[in-house]
Amino acid sequence: MAGASQVLRLEGRVALITGASRGIGRAVALRFAKEGAQVILAARTRGALEEVDDEIRDAGGSATLVPVNLTDYSKVDEMGAAVFERFRRLDVLVGNAGMLGVPGPLPHLDPKVWAEVIDTNLTANWRLIRSFDPLLRMSDSGRAIFVTSGLGSEPRAYWNAYAVSKAALEMMVRGYAAELAKTPVRVNLLDPGNVRTGMRAQAFPGEDPMTLAPPETVTDLFVELAEAGCQRQGEVVRAY
C-alpha cells in the first residue's frame, strides 16, 4: 500500500481493531493497513466491514473480517482462539468499539441502557484483555490501545453511564499496564477529543459536523502507540 521508498511503520504486524466499520475505527484500520499491518477488523455489521475491506484491498492491502457483537462474550473467546490458530500472536490490540447510551439525568436512565453501555464500553474490553493477553505476550512487542474520553476524568452532568464506563476503563487499563511493567507489552489509552463521528453527532445533534476534525487526523497517535518502538506505558494520551 505504499511506494518502494516509503517506510512502513507497522510492516508485518498483526493488529486487531474493534469498532472498525466506521468513524475512528475505520480510519485506524485504513491507516494501519497503509502502514503495512495485517489488520483484523471486528464490528457488528458485515456490510460496513466489507466496505472497509474493499478500500484496503483496492489500495493493495489485506484484512480479515470478524462480524461480531463484543457483548457476546463467548464470541470474543472464539475470536482469540481463531487469531491464535492463524497468526500465533497478536502485535496490536485497539479497543475502539463503544456505545453512547442516552445522555440525561442519572436517576432517569433505563437500567437496560445502563447495562448495555457498561457491557460494551467496559466489560467487553476486559474480555478482550482476558482473551488476547496471552497473544500480546507472544509478540516480541505487543501493544494495546483503548479509546477513552475526557468525560472519564472530568465530572459533567448528564453523561451518566458513558462517563462512568470510561472512568472505569481508564482505571482498568492503567492497572493492567502496571501488571505488565516487566514485560515487553505496552498498554495505553487514547483520548481523541472532539472528532467528526456518528457518536459525536448522536451526542450533539445540533452541532455542525464540519467544524470538527475528521477521524483521520488522530491516526498518527494510534500508529505511534502501535509501533514496536513505543515505550509509553499506562498513559492517557490526548490528541488535543
Instruction: Print the domain residue range for 41.
Output: 14-238
Q: How far is CA 77 from CA 52, 82, 168, 175, in A?
A: 24, 9, 22, 22
Any domain includes 3: no
Any domain includes 138: yes
Residues tagged active-site: 162
How confident is the prediction for the chain on average, in pLDDT? 96
The CATH number that applies at residue 67 is 3.40.50.720
pLDDT more than 90, % of the chain: 97
Q: What is the pLDDT of residues 148-171, one digit of tens each?
A: 999 999 999 999 999 999 999 999
Any domain includes 156: yes
Lowest mean pLDDT among 85-99, 127-141, 198-212: 198-212
CB 169 within 8 A of CB 125: yes
pLDDT of 3 over the 80 cut? no
28, 198, 102, 98: CA torsion to nearest 10: -10
- Helix ranges restricted to H, 110-212: 111-118, 124-138, 160-179, 198-203
pTM over cut 0.75: yes
The pLDDT of residue 5 is: 59
Residue 152's contacts (CB-CB under 8 Å, 6 or more residues apart) are 163, 166, 167, 169, 170, 191
Any domain includes 4: no
Report the pLDDT averaged over residues 26-48.
97
Any domain includes 108: yes
Any domain includes 1: no
- Select from 3, 32, 6, 40 the least CA-distant residue to 227: 32
The number of distinct structural domains making up the chain is: 1
Any domain includes 8: no
Any domain includes 7: no
Q: What is the pLDDT of residues 175-185, one digit of tens each?
A: 999 999 999 99
Report the pLDDT averaged over residues 110-128.
98
The pLDDT of residue 6 is: 80
Q: How far is CA 186 from CA 76, 119, 178, 202, 209, in A?
A: 21, 24, 10, 32, 34
